[in-house]
Amino acid sequence: MTLRFCQNLRLPLVPPSNFAIKSTRTRRLSVHNSLLDSNDSRKLVLEVKEKLEKEYPSLPVGKNGRDDEDVILWFLKDRKFSVKDAVARLNKAIKWRQEFKVSELSEESVKNVAQTGKAYVHDFLDVNDRPVLIVVASKHFPAMQDPAEDEKLCVFLIEKALGKLPAGKEEILGIFDLRGFGTKNADLKFLTFVFDVFYYYYPKRLGEVLFVEAPFVFKPIWQLAKPLLKSYASLVKFCSVETVRKEYFTEATVPASLRN
């Protein structure tokens, strides 16, 4: 028995309100309308950059480091241009990248777990020009596989998907193929890890998540997982294979595993 419903679980859009800037000793800015002109954005980026250098001088520099202005701007947007919040999130994210050794991940380092076919980045973009990360749940066996290796594969594939972003695009599509899913494939800890990684370290990069052909046995797992996924639970859409084929890909770009 499978669940075939496709209502979108996104929260309703709220019209942006006027932004207000509050000056304090730390110059914390709260911007409800996240659109600032380039000069204001530049000033905030430099302020965050300066604070990171002063407060966390041991953090690495360079790409994805404390002086990476593109990354700083991205976290500012995520934190609604609050300098204080952006600094805190960036400190956490950069430290995590160091500890997880993200820069050392490669096709070779995840080769063994990748060969299971449990997850991969699709060769083609979806109809909205988003890179696509696919998880085949029936090939995931937490009792038999090393969770650390699964986590490395997850992060490597996120990095790979983001590397395929076309100019002007910012989000990726996640697809969980739940056909054949059983209790032996259930892994609440890993599912939470995936969404936590996006929430804390790759904010606003996950545009939508499709749970495809979710069987009845998946329902209690989702009820447990949903509260743990924070705001990302609103990105989830349950749907059928047919919906994926017709609404997210062209005939030429449908993933091979979803053609049947």
Q: Can you say how many angstroms the Cα of residue 203 is from the centroid of all Cα atoms in its chain?
A: 6
Q: Give 104's DSSP letter.
A: G
Looking at the chain, the number of H-run helices and the number of E-run strands are 8, 5
pLDDT tens readout for residues 124-143: 999 999 999 999 999 999 99
C-alpha separations of 115 from 1, 98, 119, 132, 139 in Å: 29, 26, 9, 18, 11
pLDDT tens readout for residues 158-214: 999 999 999 999 999 999 999 999 999 999 999 999 999 999 999 999 999 999 999
Tokens of 250: 């062209």
Residues sharing a CB contact under 8 Å with residue 92, sequence separation 6 or more, in sequence order: 200, 201
Model confidence, pTM? 0.84
Say which amino acid occupies 246: K
**Interatomic CA distance for residues 152 and 197, integer angstroms:** 11
